[in-house]
Amino acid sequence: RGMGGAFSGSDLPPREFRAHRSVLAAATEYFAPLLLGDFAESRSGRVELRKWSSGAEPDPETIEAVISFMYTGSVRVSPGNVHEVLELADRFLLIRLKEFCGEFLKKKLSLSNSVAIHSLAHMYSLNQLALKAAEMIRRNFYKVIEDDEFYTLPFHLIRDWLSDSEITVDSEEILFEMVLKWVQRNPDEREKYFGELFKLLRLSQIKPTYLTQHVKSEKLVSSNEACLKLVLGAVESHALKGENFHLGTQVNSSISSQPRFGQYMDVIMVIGGVSEGGDYLSECVGYFIDEDRWVNLPHTNNHLDGHAVVVTESYLYVAGSMEPGFAKSMERYNPGRNVWEKVSNLITRKHYFGLTEVKGNLYSIGGRGYFIPGFKEVAVYNPDQDKWHNLECAPKILRDVKVITIDNRFVYMAARTPDDGDNEDGLRSVIIRYDADTRQWQDSESLPLLDNYCCFQMVVGNTNFYHTASCCPRSYPLDHEEA
């Protein structure tokens, strides 16, 4: 007997698909009572399919493919038809096919489709897929809200994301702007939800100037007495207790006074070193400048001294060590999750080398090795691929290297280089520039330092260099002017 389909909302006549009732009834509990029980469908041998959550009715080829699955147990799923296959599997109670679609989507999950896949997973109760998509969205929420698809989400999902305590954003200000953008996409339908979404913002994390100049003056806020009261409460709290303490009282929740993941504070980190007993350390502590306090942070995975450190947009990388067992190691600190993560090792065991970032890639330059006076080695690390590869060497040995990057292109190094081969007494200080675009080297004016100072520290303010030296291996008689 056959099964027919009459599709609502279509100008085309219903299309009929024929199948054996015994096969359909054996394949799923959806058809068993309909075709074998005391229902009109059992007497007529016809089942009508209507009301599709995906909008238009499924493609006839997709329906035929799912019917074929009930015969053969196999089906071809693609990014183009997976939603329709999933909807049919859910409607027909084809659990195995539904799970297969979930695994297919899990493999295809990416930042660009995470919102759509998360919505599908919730719609069809694919819990594991929903968890994986949600975790990706949380970690990259500041990027996800740049995608137009996010603003097609219904109110309840926007509310759920704002309520999520683990979303990662650069600032609370961008969440305020996100709410405005979502409302403005369909003001007639969405303005009624603004007040409820606004209450979920952590106003105590927004700077007072932004609160007064942008939030308070926004028409949706100024015309809403409850919203305006929240803003005034946040401004008053800032004025009374000081912006540095970030204490808000406008929302009855302790969570509202805490920064979200990704809202970084200025922190000075102290990593590794040597104990009084001469042991290499893995300790890591942070000084929170605004709060004037020291905090113990997670230990590194390695024992470190003579290591190199570089801070990127999202991570702090630390590499190398004088401890032989960790001399090739590299790991990174994820401030959003407060954890150290292992990444690919250096190519060479080294310490006292330069490490810097240029256009998203890390550059390792020079350094010292064991029983090796110094390196000319230059290597580049691609974080997306988690791989190192060597570049052309520097024109001279560079050891005890400190580096800074200017204009996301030029790498300036203060280092020591041998004047006379391997002779330690023949070391002199140099400043040298590396052009990461052309891979060309150029000597610069030497640092105004005694040649035998071995550890340089450098920072740059605007275009001026500031440098200091420490750890002098021997004493020199200096007059006051030289000192």
Tens digit of each residue's pLDDT (9 = 90 or more) over 273-326: 998 888 889 999 999 887 788 999 999 999 999 999 999 988 999 999 988 888
Residues 372 and 353 in one domain: yes
* Residue 377 placed within a domain: yes
What pLDDT score does 325 carry? 82
Non-local CB neighbours of 377 within 8 Å, separated by 6+ positions: 347, 348, 350, 364, 365, 366, 367, 390, 393, 394
Q: Describe the crossing of helices 82-91 and 60-72 by its angle, rounded to 10 degrees.
A: 60
Q: Give the CATH number, domain containing residue 247.
A: 1.25.40.420
- d(CA 446, CA 431) in angstroms, rounded, equals 5
* Residue 119 placed within a domain: no
* Residue 16 placed within a domain: no
What pLDDT score does 220 carry? 95
Domain that holds residue 359: 267-468
Residues 271 and 259 in one domain: no
Quick check: helix, strand or coil at residue 223? Answer: coil
Low-confidence spans in the chain with pLDDT less than 50: 1-11, 242-254, 447-456, 459-463, 465, 467-478, 480, 482-483
* Residue 434 placed within a domain: yes
- d(CA 374, CA 397) in angstroms, rounded, equals 6
Domain boundary among 263, 284, 318: 263
Residues 293 and 249 in one domain: no
Domain boundary among 214, 247, 263: 263
Under 8 Å between Cβ of 356 and 404: yes
- d(CA 366, CA 400) in angstroms, rounded, equals 8
Residues 305 and 402 in one domain: yes
What pLDDT score does 250 carry? 39
Main-chain dihedrals φ then ψ at residue 352, nearest 5 degrees: 50, 50
Residues 290 and 240 in one domain: no
Strands 440-444 and 455-461: unpaired
Domain boundary among 239, 263, 287: 263
Under 8 Å between Cβ of 204 and 246: yes
Residues 403 and 272 in one domain: yes
> pLDDT tens across 114-167, in order?
999 999 999 999 999 999 999 999 989 999 999 999 999 999 999 999 999 889
Q: Give the CATH number, domain containing residue 386.
A: 2.120.10.80
* Residue 398 placed within a domain: yes
* Residue 285 placed within a domain: yes
HSE-up of 363 (CA within 13 Å, CB side)? Answer: 30
Total domains in the fold of the chain: 2
Residues 164 and 210 in one domain: yes
**pTM value?**
0.55
Residues 296 and 278 in one domain: yes
Residues 383 and 252 in one domain: no
CA 439 to chain centre: 30
- d(CA 401, CA 454) in angstroms, rounded, equals 9
Residues 226 and 351 in one domain: no
